[in-house]
Chains A and B, each alone.
Chain A
């Protein structure tokens, strides 16, 4: 092997950027004050948390007062969904989401179903996109909440968020968007979109893990799920993770820069180069998800006659980090529910492969990945009883 390492799993997590790390470091030992303390140590930390809130708000076109920091995206999803459902339960008991949401959303809905809420899960088309007419048809008089992801983690498809938002707004329904995969990677403006709540996660955009945020439009009321010292306007008690929040702020700054300096175009070009080098040139590989309405850094494919885990481990041996929605990698006997919801067969879904680029991915990396994938697919197909040209 060449000793080359190419990390192609940025949908799973990203490395903390050096600028982000540098911003965070003083807040562990030197500037350690509790932001809720009145003394100079406390005020210094409070200032830093406020500055971070301003940066995150600015990235999505919100007011700083509309950002609640949380311990990650899953917590923000739970706060948004459970918080809104319990606040408005007297208005109605019907809540809507989609079949391709992250488990943080789907499982929160399932729990609410057990608590007596009526749940509608919207289907998706073959690209993983919700049909807006399905949402319109699902809305009832007692619908109080709709939760839809901005873009899908497994196939990168971007949902018709603006249209869904308009539908909900006309009917006075709270509209939550899980923006974990999208924020920082495509332009997101909460005012333009008119959405009520937006989930964000720092570690998907070169910030630290365990740090997230929820945009809550002014006037939207929520019940907290964590009670205590009343931090974050009483919506998320617990002493602020100062260093982490500073990191989130620095990551938001970095994202804003990347969104305006051509980085995203470069990422899109490299992603297209990757997909064009494997889907087509290698037999029986096709792109999953929408070809154009998708996250710029996101590549996902299905490889015929092969199983995902075997490809991942062979790629890993070549220094390439990727992921798959096969049963063997999901830890269950079922392949990815996202791919099944898109109408793919079990057999096809077992051969899924996700290759997600990052800000430091180069053209040489893409060429290396494409070459190795081609070699590995050929080698493994020689072993596969499903492959037609074997032997």
Chain B
């Protein structure tokens, strides 16, 4: 059994930004149920900044803690700043993850990227449609 840091356990027991968002501007879903981890990130964007963010995660404690941490980290950032967040930064902010749980932090990084991509492609479709 893996031993988690206090930070991981704290965010697992009391996750921040948890739950579904109504009418988000972008949604990213990564992972799959077969492997036991799905992370879904919802963002609301204003002036190219992440104004609000939430997540839903199916997975182990480190997946839930990574989701909570990454959403806290990128909230208020510009989209470009958020895209630059790496899984290593998530791991460091959590005070470390067991080696076999590093993929949870990768999902967190990918989840943010997927949500922003979704937002941008929707924007493109909108502007493309109006042009």
B88 to nearest A CB, angstroms?
A: 21
The answer, among B9, B56, B100, for a CB contact under 8 Å with A383, is: B56
- Residue contact A383 to B36, C-beta cutoff 8 Å: no
Most chain B beta carbons < 10 A, residue from A307, A308, A390: A307
CA distance A153 to B125 in the complex (A): 55
- Per-residue CB contact flags for chain B residues 95-109 toward chain A (1 = under 8 Å, else 0) read 000001100000000
Which of A37-45, A140-148, A291-299, A310-318 forms contacts with chain B?
A310-318
Note all chain B residues with C-beta closer than 8 A to A317: 13
- Looking across the interface, which residue of chain B has its beta carbon closest to that of A333? B35
The answer, among B1, B56, B58, B61, for a CB contact under 8 Å with A306, is: B58
Q: Report the contact-size class of chain B (Cβ under 8 Å from the partner).
A: 20 to 34
- Per-residue CB contact flags for chain A residues 339-350 toward chain B (1 = under 8 Å, else 0) read 000000111001
- Counting residue pairs across A and B whose Cβ atoms lie within 8 Å, the total is 75
B12 located at the interface, meaning its Cβ lies under 8 Å from any Cβ of chain A in the complex: yes
- Residue contact A305 to B58, C-beta cutoff 8 Å: yes
- Per-residue CB contact flags for chain A residues 58-81 toward chain B (1 = under 8 Å, else 0) read 000000000000000000000000
A121 to nearest B CB, angstroms?
A: 23
- Residue contact A310 to B36, C-beta cutoff 8 Å: no
Which of B15-23, B72-80, B113-121 forms contacts with chain A?
B15-23
A367 located at the interface, meaning its Cβ lies under 8 Å from any Cβ of chain B in the complex: no
A155 to nearest B CB, angstroms?
A: 19
CA distance A335 to B59 in the complex (A): 12
The answer, among A309, A314, A333, A385, for a CB contact under 8 Å with B38, is: A385
Note all chain A residues with C-beta closer than 8 A to B56: 383-385, 390
B39 to nearest A CB, angstroms?
A: 8
Note all chain B residues with C-beta closer than 8 A to A390: 19-20, 56
Note all chain A residues with C-beta closer than 8 A to B13: 314, 317
B29 located at the interface, meaning its Cβ lies under 8 Å from any Cβ of chain A in the complex: yes
- Residue contact A383 to B60, C-beta cutoff 8 Å: no
A331 located at the interface, meaning its Cβ lies under 8 Å from any Cβ of chain B in the complex: yes
Note all chain B residues with C-beta closer than 8 A to A335: 36
- Per-residue CB contact flags for chain A residues 298-336 toward chain B (1 = under 8 Å, else 0) read 000000011111100110010000000011110101010
Note all chain B residues with C-beta closer than 8 A to A386: 33, 38, 58
- Residue contact B58 to A346, C-beta cutoff 8 Å: no
B107 to nearest A CB, angstroms?
A: 12
Extra pairs beyond A307-B60, A309-B60 (5, CB < 8 Å): A335-B36, A383-B15, A386-B58, A391-B20, A391-B22
Q: 7 A-B contacts, Cβ less than 8 Å apart?
A: A326-B60, A346-B36, A347-B33, A347-B36, A350-B33, A390-B19, A391-B22
